[in-house]
């Protein structure tokens, strides 16, 4: 019988534990036991480390994790995250311990370095950068962007959107902060970084840092005329990493794309770039009848174009059939290790040709195990609120000027 590999969320202490201990210490004990067990470390070392953590907690109501504890905890967090289909590679995650950085400028420079190293000329390497942890009763470091690379969405007077409709709100906030894009469909948004107790600052990503792939098709020459492209690196930046009761609210991480994330969702979704009607028309399909399956046929060709383009450019990508097979291989490996695989069926099953893959027929259990990643809500509520907050921090004679700092050097 498979068993959870460690504590679930929310945590319920086992009967033999001292239930009067604070939650943070209980979480720390659970993780340290897991860490020492899976790393085959001696029991004496575990007991010594637990004593150190108790002493740290008495003085500061928190504790400082070692580099090794963070490195393994981040990998296990990936292993536990129920929404990711690519977890077979969890042990290969590159973990960058950047807890010593204390300014938004230094964090931005580290993010640029992360992007360079992770993009790796197209040979994408799964990487996470862990910045300073949250302190008790205080907000942590926040990166406002949902991903390190996102394309702007510009709302037009007639209600139409130029660019990515999913990023309209963030785009308008960036504009309130003083950023102005070119108004194209693929303008890379700046990064907004907020240090604890400070105003957010925005930073322009150097163009040479963002690798982009122009879209072509293996058969349709006209496809290049659509002027489509997508960035090579998918890097999530609005999730909180939690390890042993310690939260890291700024811990951007990346893998590489599965083709359907771009072709079926970013390009295909009605509420995103909505390209199915455009592609179907160029293919000469009958879009007036559902019986022609024009959406399905256009969706296939969009995904073929993505796979073809990334492969031609030498950029790492995986098709949905291969990713699904790898997930089932991961499932088997975890079963052999007597661990369950938390999985959100709706997130794991690809949005294209689902029933042709084994994951479609696999029963899954969406349980929460720790360490793990947890989504953070946006720091803004409405554009009006953000603007008011920005104005409030300035003297009256400066309220017409942007209080944020743009950086665009090519480090």
Alpha helices of 81-139 — where are they, by DSSP H?
A: 104-119
Supply the residues annotated as catalytic: 84, 87, 256, 261
Residues 6 or more apart whose Cβ sits within 8 Å of residue 360 = 349, 354
Which DSSP string do the residues of 270-325 spell out, in sequence order?
A: TTTT--HHHHHHHHT--TT-GGGTHHHHHHHHHHHHHHHHHHHHT--EE-HHHHHH
Token reading at 290: 């559902």
Distance CA 151, CA 379 (A): 19
Radius of gyration of the chain (CA): 23
DSSP state of 265: I
Distance CA 234, CA 306 (A): 14
Token reading at 262: 């771009």
Distance CA 287, CA 280 (A): 7
**Smallest Cα–Cα separation from 70: which of 131, 17, 138, 144?**
131
């Amino acid at each position: 019988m498979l068993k959870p590999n460690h504590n679930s969320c929310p945590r319920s202490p086992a009967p033999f534990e001292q239930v009067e201990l604070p939650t943070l210490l209980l979480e720390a004990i659970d993780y340290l036991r897991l860490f020492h067990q899976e790393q085959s470390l001696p029991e004496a070392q575990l007991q010594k480390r637990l004593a150190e953590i108790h002493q740290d907690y008495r003085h500061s109501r928190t504790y400082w994790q070692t580099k090794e504890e963070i490195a393994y905890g981040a990998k296990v967090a990936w292993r536990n995250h129920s929404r990711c289909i690519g977890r077979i590679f969890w042990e290969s995650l590159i973990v960058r311990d950047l807890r010593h950085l204390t300014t938004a400028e230094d964090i931005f420079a580290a993010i640029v370095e992360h992007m360079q190293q992770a993009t790796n000329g197209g040979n994408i390497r799964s990487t996470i950068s862990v910045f300073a942890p949250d302190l008790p009763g205080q907000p942590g470091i926040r990166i406002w962007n949902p991903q390190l690379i996102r394309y702007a969405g510009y709302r037009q007077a007639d209600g139409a959107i130029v660019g990515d409709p999913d990023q309209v709100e963030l785009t308008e906030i960036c504009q309130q902060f003083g950023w102005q894009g070119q108004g194209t469909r693929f303008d890379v948004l700046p990064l907004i970084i907020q240090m604890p107790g400070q105003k957010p600052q925005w930073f322009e990503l150097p163009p040479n840092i963002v690798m982009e792939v122009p879209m072509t098709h293996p058969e349709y020459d006209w496809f290049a005329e659509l002027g489509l492209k997508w960035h090579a690196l998918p890097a999530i930046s609005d999730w909180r990493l939690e390890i042993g009761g310690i939260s890291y609210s700024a811990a951007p991480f990346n893998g590489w794309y599965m083709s359907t994330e771009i072709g079926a969702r970013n390009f295909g979704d009605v509420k995103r770039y909505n390209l199915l009607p455009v592609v179907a028309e160029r293919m000469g399909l009958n879009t007036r009848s559902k019986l022609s399956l024009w959406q399905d046929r256009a969706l296939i060709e969009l995904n073929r174009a993505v796979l073809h383009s990334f492969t031609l450019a030498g950029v790492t990508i995986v098709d949905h059939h291969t990713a699904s097979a790898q997930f089932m291989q991961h499932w088997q490996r975890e079963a052999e290790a007597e661990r369950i695989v938390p999985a959100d069926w709706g997130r794991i099953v690809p949005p294209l040709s689902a029933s042709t893959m084994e994951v479609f027929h696999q029963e899954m259990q969406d349980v929460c195990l720790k360490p793990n990643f947890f989504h953070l809500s946006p720091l803004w509520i409405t554009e009006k609120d953000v603007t008011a907050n920005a104005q409030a921090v300035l003297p009256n004679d400066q309220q017409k000027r942007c209080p944020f700092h743009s950086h665009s050097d090519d480090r």
